[in-house]
Amino acid sequence: MLQPPHSSLQVAAVPAQRMPARDRDQDAPWHTEAVCQRDEAGLFFAPSKEPTAARLSREEAAKRVCARCPVMVECREHALLQPEPYGVWGGLTAAERRVVLARRRRREMELKKAARATTANRIAG
């Protein structure tokens, strides 16, 4: 197994229960193609009491793995739909996923408001 450049860090194991239940029984679920399942799985989840500089370095290394992954988009959408509270999924940290989810919610609210206004105009007009 390849050792990451920050191998002195003690990295938490990837929780087995985080695999998407809906894909386990399909012939070729997306996660079977995930690059992170090979050698670098420990990069994706923080060890306890990880210093900020080490966390940022680990997250950037994880994102580099994601960047070459053929199922990055599927992984990201899984993490956004669950939503996954920890780790790097689909090239996004948990904080970055919260931002994406907030933007999606805001956009959905704007679209619903616009649809209501359009409906109200049709009824009034």
* 3-state class (DSSP) for residue 55: helix
69 assigned ligand-binding residue: yes
75 assigned ligand-binding residue: yes
Q: Is 97 exposed, middle or buried (0-12, 13-18, 19+ CB in 10 A)?
A: buried
Residue 117: φ, ψ to 5°: -65, -40
23 assigned ligand-binding residue: no
- Mark residue 4 as left, alpha or beta (left: phi above 0; alpha: psi -120 to 50; beta: remaining): beta
**H-helix or E-strand spanning residue 19:** none
20 assigned ligand-binding residue: no
Rg, the chain, Cα only: 19
- Binding site per annotation, positions for [4Fe-4S] cluster: 36, 66, 69, 75
- Binding site per annotation, positions: 36, 66, 69, 75
